[in-house]
Amino acid sequence: MNKKNLKLVSAALLATLTMGTTFTGCKDYDDDINNLQEQITANKTAIEKINSLIASGSVITNVAKTANGVTVTLSNGNTFELTNGAAGAAGKDADVWTIVDGYWAKNGVKTEYKAVGEDGTPGAPGEPGLPGADGKDGAIYRPNTETGNFDIVTWDAEGNEVVEDSNISWKAAGLSAVLTGTDLVLSGVEGTEGTVTISLSSALRGFTFMPEYTKLGEPWMLYPIFKYSSLTAANQDSKTESWKQGSEYKNINNGMVAKYKVTPSNAKEADLKNLSYDIINPKDIMPKMIATKAESLIDAQFGSFANGELSVDVKFSDDFTKWVDNNLETDIITQIALQATVGDEVITSTQYVTVEPKTIGNFELANPKVKGNYHYRTAINTPQTEAGNQLAAWDGGPDSQDFTMVYGKTINLFDYVETHNPVSGDGGATCSAIDIEQFGLNYKFELVKNYTLGTPATDQADFIDDSDIANGNITSKVYSKEGIAAVGRTPIIRVKLMDGTKVVKVAYIKILITDKEVLPIDPIKITVADELAFDCAKDAKVAITVKQMNEEVYLAAGLSKAEFHKIYQTLEDKDQNDGIKAEQTEVPGDETTYVINFTMSKDDVWANSGKTIEHTVTYKGANVPDVVITFTINVEDITKTASVKTADMLKNIWAADYSYAKFNVAVPTTPTDANPDNCKFENDLNYPFVTENGIIKGFENITYAFAKENENSALVVGKYTVKVTLADDTLKAQILKVDGKAVTKASEVVATIKNTNAVGDVKGTNVVTYAGTETAKALLNTNAMFAYVGATTVKCAEDPAKVITIDFNGKDYFQANFIRPINVAGIATGEFIDAVDKGNVGSYVALEDLVALTDWRKLAFADNAHFYGFYGLDEKSINVNKENVKTTVNGDPILLSSTNTEFDVMTAADMKQAYPSEAAKFTSKYGYIVYYNGTATVNEAYTLTVPVTVTYKWGTTDEVEVTVNVVKTIGQAKKN
């Protein structure tokens, strides 16, 4: 059983017992956990012992159900109990399946499910697929360890297996055991995950390759080949030292380790000693191509075998490598399968694996103690961008060391060198460490001589004891003695990657000898006191204090300021997509003092308003652990809304509950203004508010716009159903229905908003203009037309992107009602007299006297004659629907046309022509209605109901039924 699984199960069970529980004491729980662990350990021990005994020749003779699991009996008489891992009453749900007379038996009771063919016997090799005499339809039932069900297995005419899930479970809620002809399969054993398979025999059955690499969904075996051309030196131990590459290349193929799962996992190790590989596809071609026997192309040697896993040491011949390498681009692929020869039997892996050489030829010598890819310099006097230290080793100055060593202490250079194989990928090259022993390579270290510094010139090699450098050991010295004088010296070590006596690679390591060992520093967390504040004119800057730098950085590192900055010379600030940039800056004073400063652009401050950001920087030094500092920085919570309250709204311009503001046409410019051009529907949007400098008090600039809440696909305005849309600063509407009946209308402009910015002393304007389109006029004359208007200002006058939303009593918009300019009352100021002579007073009523017109201020047209002209009424503006005039002469209203009376609408000219003797009376610009009944005497007064519409500059009013009184027949009053 897998030890890892046991640990995981134990941990999971412990977590189950402890999570969400309030403890009053630990002893009882400790006992439970200990008992459970003992149970798990007992199962593990039992399974390992069973496998061991089977490997030594014992066989399982019986599996029986117990109160809490199953008992396994072996041929040597030993019994082992395995416990139930499921919840519930112990043993209640346990099932044991065995084969009785060729059929599956559940807990000893034989079922109808055929287990083997007629000629087969449980556990013995044979032909289990052949139909047996007693087999149902020639099928057998085989347990599936993945689904937990029995599979029904049949065979087609070609002898191929046909497998179908029977949906019959062999797993129980608790422990289940299935004893097949070859295995004992256990499920639900305490301390295990999934199933446990115990082979009834340790006889080797096969292998399954465990790939480290897949390609096209299939496992591949990549084996490494190293190619190099050896180096030779020129001007060694001088500033001009160089290494030249030869022209001939050598291949090093030292093989690889391949891993396999072995079936059964308790196979005998002795059966795994005689290994080889079978080569398919090109095996008939390959020997002819390379004149070598196929059997000698690949050497397979037993490596190790534990927990069911086999390691094989694989060595490919040079001929094999060359042949595969030359045919990689062809259709002739090479596949191999592991074989084990046991006696006279050859057992082959079920899986053939494609092999391919992986050429390696770009080794880099690197420092394993530095995170990332710290490659050493390969030239002694040339800065190299690909190297970890990008300064020249010879002339790089005191900061060009690769790592430090404490004087008086010995270090082993083997701890500071490894070989990398850079692999190109996204974002550049990434490195993986190479096991150089795999290629038979090794490191050789040498002390560079004649590297002199100072006056008089001092050879830095005199400060290193290299007597044991062959074993990688070096110690600081002062010529022949030890001493603190070695501190500050920078000797150079030459490291060679060797293939025997040939030099594969050369690199240079520069060491700084120090008087203090640098220990790893725990990650540091610092809270920056000041917040990144928004400023319209500049970027935001904050910094930690000098006190924080000393107490929370230097003190935490256990170093003085000078020591810290000598060791950690670089502050790395990687982009963290948070808008913050960090840098180390100097604070003016008597001596250099450093702090860490943070900058964020005003745009980023705006975008990150109110956030708390953790920003990490890293101090880096040569061959010392990084110092990681995480700063917590607050960004100003910028107020991005401004409010207009009731106190800033002009009471008389708003509805009583301040739910909407009223917008209307202009008033006449003079007491006699009759010019309709002056009847404009343009409104200053600031007008309903208390203002200062022309805009709402408290603001420097405002931009108004129709709010998105206007958009409505079925808005009802009076008798109209409309679709409202927005386009830039324009409100549009399309009439869809009139009085519920669908109509076909195009979308038209209803209103627009224009914002003009202030320029110098000239104030800006914010104007909403109501349109004169047919649709706009129709909606206006319902006296129910409105729009939602929103407003914004800006944080910075020069930066329109920094928008502040204005709310009105908590809403992002206010409602603007567009008031109908005129109103029509349905009561006439004139009347008719029945049976009066035609053309006389009482037989006609002037159209302007037929309706009582008032403007939006409730001022009467009758008292302000210039209103007719100002609001755009002409001689055709007052219209009567003659066909629908009604009369109450019969009591209830009936159509006037159904009575023997006369009714007409006539112009003044028509009246003058008809009644020339009365022509002087007919002065109405708009015309008259004429009514006459001269054939009967009417004893009681009655009324006419006259439908009237008024057309003016801003559209046509809805039809109004005007009541006109008809006085009883002339003279009747005197008779009564």
Instruction: Determine the 3-state secondary structure of 165 from DSSP.
Output: strand
How far apart are alpha carbons 507 and 230 in whole angstroms? 14
Residue 807 pLDDT exceeds 90: yes
pLDDT at 499 over 60: yes
Average pLDDT over residues 121-145: 55
pTM of the entire structure? 0.50
What pLDDT is stored for residue 542 in this prediction? 97
Q: Is 419 exposed, middle or buried (0-12, 13-18, 19+ CB in 10 A)?
A: buried
Cα 120–Cα 124–Cα 129 angle in degrees, nearest 5: 40
| Helix boundaries (H) for 482-571 | 546-548, 555-557, 561-567
Identify which of 184, 182, 346, 199 has the alpha carbon closest to the alpha carbon of residue 271.
346
Q: Is 898 exposed, middle or buried (0-12, 13-18, 19+ CB in 10 A)?
A: exposed
* Dist CA 367 CA 403 (whole Å): 9
* Model confidence band, residue 155 (pLDDT cutoffs 50, 70, 90): confident
**Torsion on CA atoms 92, 98, 101, 106, rounded to nearest 10:** 20
**Per-residue model confidence (pLDDT) at position 331:** 59
Residue 481, judged by CB atoms within 10 A of its CB (0-12, 13-18, 19+), counts as exposed
Both tokens of 847, joined, read: 């159209």
Give 54-104 pLDDT, tens digit per residue: 766 677 878 888 877 888 888 777 888 887 764 444 445 578 888 888 888
Q: What is the pLDDT of residues 780-795, one digit of tens each?
A: 999 999 999 999 999 9
The per-residue pLDDT of the chain, averaged, comes to 84
pLDDT (mean) for 197-206: 78
Q: If 0-12 CB within 10 Å is exposed, 13-18 middle and 19+ buried, where does residue 850 land?
A: buried
Contact 681, 781 (CB under 8 A): no
Q: Residue 33: in which H helix or E strand, if any?
A: helix 27-55
User: What number is the average pLDDT over the span 521-542?
Assistant: 95
The residue that leads in pLDDT, 554 or 83, is 554
The pLDDT of residue 120 is 38
Residues 10-22 pLDDT 10s: 333 333 333 333 3
Distance, CA of 861 to chain centre: 67
Three-state DSSP state, 31: helix
Q: Which stretch of 387-396, 838-847, 929-938, 966-975 has the lowest confidence by average pLDDT?
A: 966-975
| Per-residue pLDDT tens over the stretch 865-891 | 999 999 999 999 999 999 999 999 888
Token look-up 């422990």 returns 175
- What's the confidence (pLDDT) of residue 281? 56
Digit-coded pLDDT (tens) for 440-473: 899 999 999 999 988 788 899 998 999 999 999 9
Q: What is the pLDDT of residue 976?
A: 35
The answer to whether residues 72 and 199 touch, using CB atoms and an 8 Å cutoff, is no
Q: What b-and-e string marks burial along 785-808, b requiring 16 or more CB atoms within 10 Å of the CB?
A: bbbbbbbbbbbeeeeeebebebbb
User: Of 771, 644, 782, 638, which is closest to residue 704 (Cα–Cα)?
Assistant: 644
Q: Using one digit for the tens of pLDDT, what is the confidence trace for 589-633?
A: 656 789 999 999 999 999 999 999 999 999 998 667 789 999 999
What confidence tens digit (pLDDT) does each residue in 911-930 have?
999 999 999 999 999 999 99
Cis ω on the peptide bond leading into residue 264 (within 30° of 0)?
yes
CB 813 within 8 A of CB 644: no
What tens digit of pLDDT does each residue of 106-118 get?
A: 888 888 888 876 5
313-322, 546-555, 952-961: segment of lowest average pLDDT = 313-322
Q: What is the pLDDT of residue 767?
A: 96
Predicted confidence at residue 407, as pLDDT, reads: 86
Between helices 27-55 and 3-18, what is the axis angle to 10°?
160
Least confident of 2-6, 187-191, 225-229, 933-937: 2-6
Tell me if 788 sits within 8 A of 724, measured CB to CB: no
406: helix, coil or strand?
strand
pLDDT at site 36: 53
The pLDDT tens digits of the residues spanning 268-306 come to 888 899 998 888 755 454 554 444 455 577 889 999 998
DSSP 906-926: E-HHHHHHH-GGGGGG---SS
Distance, in Å, from the CA atom of 555 to the CA atom of 536, rounded to the nearest integer, reads 38
Tokens of 477: 């010295």
What is the percentage of the chain residues whose pLDDT exceeds 90?
A: 46
Question: At residue 805, does pLDDT exceed 90?
Answer: yes
Residue 10, pLDDT score: 36
Q: So what's the pLDDT on residue 133? A: 41
Helices (H) and strands (E) in the chain, counts: 13, 71
Are 150 and 136 contacting, i.e. CB atoms less than 8 angstroms apart? Answer: no
pLDDT of amino acid 328:
62
pLDDT at 267 over 90: no
- The whole-number pLDDT of residue 182 equals 77
Please, which pLDDT band fits residue 37 given cuts at 50, 70 and 90? low
Banded model confidence at residue 931, pLDDT cuts 50, 70, 90: very high
pLDDT in tens, 337-384: 899 998 888 888 878 888 888 777 788 999 988 777 889 999 999 999
The pLDDT tens digits of the residues spanning 41-56 come to 777 787 777 777 776 6
Identify the weakest region by mean pLDDT among 44-58, 646-660, 676-690: 44-58
Between residues 429 and 371, which one has the greater pLDDT?
371
The percent of residues in the chain predicted with pLDDT above 70, rounded, is 86
The answer to whether residues 804 and 792 touch, using CB atoms and an 8 Å cutoff, is yes
The confidence score (pLDDT) of residue 823 equals 94
